[in-house]
């Protein structure tokens, strides 16, 4: 009995949090805070969207001011930065001394501008980029990138960890958004490459379900290994083609183009790869590794 009382007396109350914006993502964020036991206040322009969260224990704020003043930590996730500024306009005095973690998507420039605005108010500001869709929030594949006020993530990490693994990208508020766009570009390249493969093998009667296990094994094993190998080359600006030179890659790209044309499959994607390889080869770099293309891409 005595031991149990002792251990309970050491339990800290969970930090209170306000979530502004209850679209698909804001609803998932608020749900994850509730699931982790955080007293959660929510506000949304369309008030009815708060009802399912209130049924789970959230408090619905009646105005942006009530939302801001309910918690020291405010997490915002609305359509865009202009919307967030509009929602927070008029709340400047209430925001002073609090912490805003903005998980709305935007450009690095918008994030830096908002960080400057927050600094002028005495509002601690952390910009974030959510690298998962709403159903994955709080799950094992959820990552949230953060950049901005250096102490904010350290202070609120246990609370923010309810959303997904927090990744600290340093003090420049614009960097999280820049990583976000770069990583989405990587995702679209990978998804379109996979779909191109699905179309190609599909033309010969292979189902996506048969092709995909082979594709994901290749992507997460060998291709991830190539990326790791070329990382040092990209940083060092030297591209020894001792594993496979661009001449070899281009020959394989021509096979992809041929196989695509023969099956009536769109060639836009392989034309991009081949065009970049041809440029580097024309400049005399045919024996260099694939990493040489960084200089074509950078222009
Ligand atoms: N969904 C994803 O997979 C995902 C992933 C990563 C990042 N994000 C980012 O998360 C943010 C929200 O995305 P979402 O999927 O939740 O979008 P959503 O479902 O369309 O929700 C948009 C939110 O913005 C609010 N809003 C729009 N215009 C407004 C205005 N003029 N005044 C006040 N509030 C306004 C909406 O309020 P109402 O309910 O009143 O319309 C709603 O809360 C976006 O920046 C998005 O890029 C989304």
Print the SS3 string covering 190-218: HHHHHHHHHHHHHHCCCCHHHHHHHHHHH
In contact, 26 and 77? CB cutoff 8 Å: yes
Q: Is the pLDDT of residue 2 over 90?
A: no
Per-residue pLDDT at 218:
97
For residue 219, give the CATH number of its domain. Answer: 1.10.1040.10
Mutating to test ligand 1, I would choose from 25, 31, 80 the residue with most ligand atoms within 8 A of its C-beta, which is: 25
Ligand 1 atom having least distance to the Cα of 79: 24
Residues 241 and 126 in one domain: no
Enumerate the β-bridge partners of residue 59: 41
Residues 113, 88 contacting (CB under 8 angstroms) = no
Write down the pLDDT at residue 3: 39
Boundary-marking domain end, from 116, 143, 171: 171
99 CB under 6 A from ligand 1?
Answer: no
Q: Is 26 in the pocket of ligand 1 (CB under 6 A)?
A: yes
For the Cβ of 184 lying below 6 angstroms from any atom of ligand 1, the answer is no
Q: What is the pLDDT of residues 176-191, one digit of tens each?
A: 999 999 999 999 999 9
Cα 28 to ligand 1 centre (Å): 11
List pLDDT tens digits, range 34-61. 999 999 999 999 999 999 999 999 999 9
Question: Measured in angstroms, how far is the CA atom of residue 78 from the centroid of ligand 1?
Answer: 4
Q: Count structural domains, the chain.
A: 2
- For residue 102 and ligand 1, the question of a CB distance below 6 A is answered with no
pLDDT of 232 over the 90 cut: yes
Find how far residue 144's CA is from the centre of its chain: 6
Mean pLDDT, range 143-163, rounded to an integer: 95
Q: What is the pLDDT of residue 257?
A: 98
d(CA 132, CA 142): 6
Tell me the mean pLDDT in the region 122-144.
96
The burial class, CB within 10 Å (0-12 / 13-18 / 19+), for 153 is buried
Do 102 and 43 fall into the same domain?
yes
Q: What pLDDT shows up at residue 235?
A: 96
Joined tokens for residue 55: 């049924």
Q: Is any atom of ligand 1 closer than 6 Å to the C-beta of 27?
A: no
Distance 21 CA to ligand 1 centre (A): 7
Under DSSP, the state recorded for 222 is: I
Tell me which of 155, 171, 187 is where a domain ends: 171
Give the pLDDT confidence score for residue 11 in this predicted structure: 61
Q: Are 139 and 32 in a shared domain?
A: yes
Let me know whether 153 and 7 are in one domain. Answer: yes
Residue 195 inside a domain? The answer is no
pLDDT the model gives residue 12: 64
Domain for residue 11, yes or no? yes
Say how many Å lie between the CA of residue 193 and the centre of ligand 1: 29
Mean pLDDT value across the chain: 94
CA Rg value for the chain? 24
| DSSP conformational letter for 220 | I
- The values of phi and psi at residue 160, to 5°, are -65, -25
Share of the chain above pLDDT 90, in %: 93
pLDDT range class, residue 13, cuts 50, 70, 90: confident
* Helices within the chain (DSSP H only): 2-9, 24-35, 51-55, 64-70, 81-88, 92-95, 108-121, 150-160, 175-203, 208-218, 224-236, 246-262, 268-282, 293-298
The domain in which residue 83 lies consists of 2-171
- Does residue 77 have its Cβ closer than 6 Å to ligand 1? yes
Same domain assignment for residues 215 and 127: no
Residue 243 has what pLDDT?
A: 86
Give the domain CATH number at 156. Answer: 3.40.50.720
User: Can you read off the two tokens belonging to residue 194?
Assistant: 């996979």
Beta bridge partners of 73: 17, 99
């Amino acid at each position: 009995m005595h031991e149990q009382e002792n251990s309970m007396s050491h339990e800290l109350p969970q930090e209170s949090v306000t979530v502004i914006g209850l679209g698909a993502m804001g609803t998932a964020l608020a749900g994850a805070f509730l699931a982790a036991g955080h007293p959660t206040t929510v506000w949304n322009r369309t008030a009815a969207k708060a009802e399912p969260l209130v049924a789970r224990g959230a408090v619905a704020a009646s105005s942006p001011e009530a939302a801001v003043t309910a918690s020291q930590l405010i997490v915002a996730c609305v359509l865009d930065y202009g919307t967030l500024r509009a929602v927070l306009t008029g709340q400047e005095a209430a925001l002073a001394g609090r912490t805003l973690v903005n998980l709305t998507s935007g450009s690095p420039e918008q994030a830096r501008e908002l960080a400057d605005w927050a600094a002028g108010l005495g509002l601690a500001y952390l910009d974030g980029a959510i690298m998962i869709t709403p159903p994955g929030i709080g799950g094992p594949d959820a990552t949230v990138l953060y950049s901005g006020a250096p102490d904010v993530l350290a202070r609120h990490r246990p609370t923010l960890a309810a959303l997904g693994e927090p990744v600290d990208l340093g003090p420049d508020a614009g960097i999280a958004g820049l990583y976000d766009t770069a990583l989405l570009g990587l995702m679209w390249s990978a998804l379109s490459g996979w779909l191109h493969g699905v179309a190609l093998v599909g033309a010969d009667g292979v189902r996506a379900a048969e092709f995909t296990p082979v594709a994901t094994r290749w992507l997460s094993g060998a291709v991830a290994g190539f990326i790791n190998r070329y990382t040092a080359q990209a940083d060092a600006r030297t591209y020894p083609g001792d594993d496979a030179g661009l001449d070899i890659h281009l020959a394989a790209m021509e096979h992809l183009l041929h196989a695509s044309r023969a099956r009536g499959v769109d060639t836009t994607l392989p034309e991009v790869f081949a065009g970049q390889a041809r440029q580097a080869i024309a400049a005399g770099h045919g024996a260099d590794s694939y990493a040489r293309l960084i200089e074509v891409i950078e222009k």
